[in-house]
Amino acid sequence: MPALEALRHTLATVGELRSIVRTMKALAAVSIHQYERAGVALIDYDRAVRRGLAVVLEDLAAEAGARGVGLVGPLDDAPPGDKPVTGAVVFGSDHGLCGRFNEVLAAYVAETLRESAGICRVLAVGVRQVAALEEQGLAPEQRFYTPAAASAIHQTMRPILPLLEQWRTEGVTQVLLFHNRHRGSESHEPASTRLLPLDPDALRREPSVPSRSLPGYAVGRADLLAALLQEWLFVELFRACAESLASEHASRLLAMQAAERNIADRLAELNTAYRQQRQEAITAELLDVVAGFEALVTAGDHREKLRRNDVGESEG
């Protein structure tokens, strides 16, 4: 009976765990949709910012020749002999139960940064991503928590933009953005984007607005470029964060689906063992009843025999 009680308790525990897994599956599915919509909402604004940058960069190229562009203007070449400094912004997760989401990205970041000779500075979003990067020998100098909802992404981006500006003033020559990109049923894959310096050719490939007039601007070129660059950085960081969070929940959804299958298999095994032990317990109880009945019958027969013997002796 103690084994039967233990099985009953295990069945109840596994059943509760299945309910938790189903709840986490539902939350992951809802979160994926939430962050996908946040990324889609940026498409038109991102296109407008890219077109504005393309126009300003074309004017700069016409005046000073084609050069890379830094955070607030043209990026001068690094002084001779100085090692190039690469900044990396990495988006990961704060929570687990999402497979090797952070570890795969950290390995990709380490491999990419090894290819760029020079000094590397790392900024990470996600506590578990920080730990994964440290395992790869990359110690983030700044770390942030991931937002809890799509509406809070801009609050996470707010302190990152000044840090990128500080990197520029401290001699960072390029900034790379790393995150996991959502790939539907395939969950995710590591991806990287060069934030700075800008690639004017990539911006020129943006489709132009159908119009008979040439685009122009009334504010100062330097001020407009600085503002557009800030918007560019914000949009790219916002989209990377949204894609990373969608990928995280997609990975968690796959993990929960696998866990649900394992739980179903475990419940089937436990139910089979419970039914077998229950049947054995019922059989043992029936055997005890039959044995007790047989003992009572035997005892009754023995008493009847003794009574008959006593009666016979008294008559004799």
For residue 29, the tally of other CB atoms under 10 A from its CB is 15
pLDDT in tens, the chain (316 residues): 557 788 888 989 999 999 999 999 999 989 999 999 998 999 889 888 888 888 888 777 777 554 444 434 434 444 444 678 999 999 999 998 888 999 999 999 999 998 877 889 999 999 999 999 999 999 999 999 999 999 999 999 999 999 999 998 898 999 999 999 987 665 689 999 999 888 776 666 555 555 666 566 777 888 888 889 999 999 999 999 999 999 999 999 989 999 999 999 999 999 998 888 888 888 888 888 888 878 887 877 777 777 777 666 666 5
User: Which residues neighbour 56 within 8 Å (Cβ) at sequence distance 6 or greater?
Assistant: 217, 221, 224, 225, 228
Q: Where are the strands (E) in the chain, listed by range?
A: 85-91, 119-125, 142-144, 174-182, 188-196
3-state secondary structure of 56: helix
Cut 0.85: pTM above it: no
Q: What is the pLDDT of residue 214?
A: 59
Class of the CATH domain delimited by 14-263:
alpha beta
Q: Which of 179, 160, 28, 35 is nearest to 102 (CA)?
A: 179
Q: What distance in Å separates the CA atoms of residue 94 and residue 149, rounded to the nearest whole number?
A: 13
CB 17 within 8 A of CB 10: no
E strands, 70-158, in order: 85-91, 119-125, 142-144
Distance CA 126, CA 124 (A): 6
Predicted local confidence at residue 168, as pLDDT: 87
Locate 314 and state its tokens: 């008294």
In terms of DSSP bridges, do strands 85-91 and 174-182 run parallel, antiparallel, or are they unpaired? Answer: parallel
